[in-house]
C-alpha cells in the first residue's frame, strides 16, 4: 500500500504517537575499529550488532519506522576489500535475521539503486522483502547504494518517461507527485535524523524527505550507540517545537 504523503504527520498536524520515523546515519564503524588497532570490517560487524539491538528496542522507544544509512553511492570509492566485506555482511545480516524479523513483526525494505549490486544480493533482497511484506510492528528500511541526489535523478527520469507516455502531465506534478516516485514512496517522511560519530553533515541522505526533520549530531561512534542513547535523544526530541515553517502564536 502506498503511503499518503499529502496526509502524513509532519505537514500541518503533529506526529501521530507510535508512528515516529527516525532515520540514522550510522557513522564511525571504521574509526571505532581503528582506535582499537583492528581492521575496519570488525567495526562494521560490531555496527551490525547495534542494528539488531536498536530494531529490537523500537517498539519500546515508540519508533515504528526506522531508516538506516548503510552504504552510500559514494562508498564505492572505499577499498575493494572493505566494499566486498560490507556486501558480504549485508547478505549475512539478511540470512541471519530473517527468522527473527518474521517472528518479531519487522518489515524490511531496501532503498537505493540496486542495479549495481550483484545478482545474488539482489535476489536475497527481493526474498526478504517478500518474506516480511505483511509485518507491521516495525518498518525497517536500509539505504544500500543510496544517495539523495541519485534518488531524485532516478525519480525525475521516471516522471519524464511517464509524461512522454501520456500517463502524467506537467500540470499534475506537485511535491506529493515527486514523493510517489521516490524510493520511500511507501514511508512517511522522517521526523528525526540522527548522525553518529561527531560529523555534522547530511551526506546526501534523504535530501527531499528530511526537509522538515529535526537533526541530532552525536559524538558517539555507531558501535557504541545503544537503545539507551536513542532514548536520551528522543527525550530531547519530544520537547522540541516543530513549526513546519509557521510561527508560534
**Binding residue per annotation — 222?**
no
Q: Distance between CA 26 and CA 36 in Å, rounded?
A: 19
Q: Distance between CA 42 and CA 56 in Å, rounded?
A: 22
**Binding residue per annotation — 197?**
no
**Binding residue per annotation — 241?**
no
Catalytic site positions: 27, 75
Q: Distance between CA 87 and CA 82 in Å, rounded?
A: 9
**Binding residue per annotation — 72?**
yes
The grid coordinates listed for 46 are 560490531
**Binding residue per annotation — 208?**
no
**Binding residue per annotation — 203?**
yes
Question: What is the three-class DSSP state of 45?
Answer: helix
**Binding residue per annotation — 21?**
no
Question: Nearest Cα to 209, choosing from 191, 197, 235?
Answer: 191
**Binding residue per annotation — 174?**
no
**Binding residue per annotation — 27?**
yes
Partners of 20 in beta bridges: 63
**Binding residue per annotation — 185?**
no
**Binding residue per annotation — 129?**
no
Edge-first strand listing for the sheet containing 20-25? 106-111, 138-146, 63-72, 20-25, 192-195, 214-217
**Binding residue per annotation — 44?**
yes
Q: Distance between CA 53 and CA 181 in Å, rounded?
A: 32
The grid coordinates listed for 93 are 545480516
First to last CA, the chain: 37
CB-CB neighbours of 18 under 10 Å: 9
- Binding-site residue positions: 27-32, 40, 44, 72-74, 76, 78, 195, 201-203, 214
In the annotated binding site for substrate, the residues are: 28-32, 40, 44, 72-74, 76, 78, 195, 201-203
Binding site for Mg(2+): what residues are annotated? 27, 214
Amino acid at each position: 500500500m502506498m503511503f499518503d504523503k499529502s496526509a502524513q504527520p509532519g505537514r500541518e498536524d503533529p506526529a501521530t504517537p507510535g508512528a515516529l520515523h527516525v532515520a540514522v546515519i550510522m557513522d564511525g564503524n571504521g574509526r571505532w575499529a581503528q582506535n582499537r588497532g583492528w581492521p575496519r570490517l570488525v567495526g562494521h560487524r560490531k555496527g551490525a550488532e547495534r542494528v539488531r539491538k536498536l530494531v529490537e528496542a523500537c517498539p519500546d522507544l515508540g519508533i515504528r519506522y526506522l531508516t538506516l544509512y548503510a552504504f552510500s553511492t559514494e562508498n564505492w570509492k572505499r577499498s575493494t576489500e572493505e566494499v566486498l566485506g560490507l556486501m558480504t555482511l549485508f547478505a549475512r545480516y539478511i540470512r541471519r535475521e530473517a527468522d527473527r524479523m518474521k517472528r518479531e513483526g519487522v518489515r524490511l525494505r531496501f532503498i537505493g539503486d540496486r542495479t549495481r549490486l550483484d545478482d545474488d544480493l539482489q535476489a536475497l533482497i527481493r526474498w526478504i522483502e517478500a518474506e516480511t511484506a505483511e509485518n507491521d510492528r516495525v518498518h525497517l528500511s536500509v539505504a544500500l547504494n543510496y544517495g539523495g541526489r541519485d534518488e531524485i535523478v532516478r525519480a525525475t527520469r521516471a516522471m519524464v518517461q511517464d509524461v512522454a507516455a501520456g500517463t502524467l502531465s506537467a500540470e499534475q506534478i506537485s511535491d506529493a507527485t515527486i514523493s510517489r516516485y521516490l524510493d520511500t514512496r511507501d514511508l512517511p517522511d522522517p521526523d528525526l535524523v540522527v548522525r553518529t560519530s561527531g560529523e555534522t553533515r547530511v551526506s546526501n541522505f534523504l535530501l527531499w524527505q528530511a526537509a522538515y526533520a529535526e537533526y541530532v549530531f552525536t559524538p558517539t561512534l555507531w558501535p557504541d550507540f545503544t537503545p539507551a542513547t536513542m532514548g536520551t535523544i528522543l527525550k530531547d526530541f519530544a520537547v522540541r517545537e516543530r513549526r513546519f515553517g509557521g510561527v508560534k502564536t
